[in-house]
A and B are shown apart, each in its own frame.
Chain A
Amino acid sequence: MHEVSIMESAVSMAVETARKSGSDRVLAVRLRVGALSGVVPEALRFAFDVVCQGTPAEGASLEMELVPAGGWCPVCQADFQFAVFPGECPRCHEPNGELRHGRELEITSVEIS
């Protein structure tokens, strides 16, 4: 529910990256957003358009890679994907898998002109 401030960070990193590379235009911003990151992708997209206005990122595209909740099962000694979190390992039904993925909230790359 704090998508605007999250997106402000993303856009400011993107604009700063462009500036340092001598570019005045951000063409695309790419994010990784985990299923358990606490933010809503649609709200991020809405915030992106608002936050970009009047910046070198205005008109840029936003690409989001959604990362599902993934765990590691201590019994199977292997990774698995949670059907729901919290949930059990689909192979052995062990309930205490460790959460390994799904909390991501990252800017992976930006494309600049």
Chain B
Amino acid sequence: MCKECGCGLGGDVRIGGDAHTHEHEHGHGHGHDHPHEPPPGHGGQTVTLQRSLLEKNDRLAEQNRGFFRAKKLLVLNVVSSPGSGKTTFIRETAAQLAGRLRVGVIVGDLATDNDAARLRAAGIPVVQITTGTVCHLDAEMVARAAGQIDLDHLDVLVIENVGNLVCPADYDLGEDLRVVLLSVTEGEDKPLKYPPLFHSANVAVVTKSDMAAAAGFDRPLALFNLQRASHHARIFELSAKTGEGMQTWLDYLVERHGAGQGRKV
């Protein structure tokens, strides 16, 4: 259907293996439009709307945010291109936070539950969203998935988005922090090629730092580009595989969780 990627064609979104296709309406019963007189055109009546085309998602995302806050959760939306190391990064984050914070994961993928299986094998509570052909997660999918995970026994909810640096930029999921990954193997100019997503991030993580030398990674250039695209973002550099740099990242999560929410009893 869509010319670029075919997103929107094909199968149903599946959550935890269940197809579930009906829509939930959360609107109030009136619109925000007001009839106005002319301007020009086609001989009809012009009605001014000035509404965001993403308002339905934005509204659901705010509901998610309120729900997650009430549950005292720190919620991360992890975005990157495919193959940047999201799953390994999330698995190691969850494993190394054990004893400090309890982590659950919602995983989005176009097809297969391989990433969910990897996380589940590590003993992490996981819900899988199989998007079929939809190239991003949206707030409604996350709300449904969140109903299938025991949030009362979690401190951190990590949402692993579909590997894509374009579409997820537009879709607020109700997260506290949008975390974008840039691996050392994928080129220092990614932040400049996909500025909306990098700009929207609160945190940027340079991953696979153990491979930097082999990949000929130009670290100063990558950091410069990251800062240009997202000068407000907090930047971390780490290797989930070797553990290098992980401690700083984990301490940051503990601090953010404590600052925003307060511990569960």
Contacts and interface: CB of A to CB of B under 8 A. Distances in A.
Contacts of B70: none
A62 B48 CA distance: 15
B2 A20 contact: no
B97 interface: no
A21 B8 contact: no
- Size bin of chain B's contact surface: 35 or more
B82 interface: no
B33 A1 contact: no
Given A27-B44, A43-B4, A86-B192, A110 B49 contact: yes
Interface in B80-120: none
Given A1-B135, A43-B2, A36 B196 contact: yes
Given A1-B4, A85-B195, A27 B51 contact: no
Nearest to A18: B47
A95 B7 contact: no
Given A31-B53, A107-B49, A111-B42, A2 B229 contact: no
Interface string A21-50: 101010110010000111110110011001
Interface in B30-83: 31, 33, 35-36, 41-56
Contacts of B47: 17, 21, 109-112
A107 B3 CA distance: 22
Contacts of A10: 53
Interface in A28-86: 28, 31, 36-40, 42-43, 46-47, 50, 61, 85-86
B49 A20 contact: no
A40 B4 contact: yes
B51 A46 contact: no
B167 interface: yes
Nearest to A29: B49
B196 A38 contact: yes
A111 B41 contact: yes
A95 B146 CA distance: 40
Given A2-B134, A106-B52, A47 B46 contact: no
Chain A to chain B: the 10 pairs with minimum beta-carbon distance, closest first: A27-B42, A4-B8, A86-B228, A111-B44, A27-B44, A4-B1, A1-B5, A36-B196, A1-B4, A109-B48
Interface of B: 1-5, 7-8, 31, 33, 35-36, 41-56, 134-136, 164, 166-167, 169-170, 191-192, 195-197, 199, 228-229, 231
24 contacts: A1-B164, A2-B134, A4-B1, A5-B134, A9-B56, A10-B53, A13-B49, A17-B47, A21-B35, A28-B41, A31-B53, A38-B166, A38-B169, A40-B3, A43-B3, A47-B1, A86-B229, A105-B52, A107-B49, A107-B53, A109-B36, A109-B46, A109-B48, A109-B49
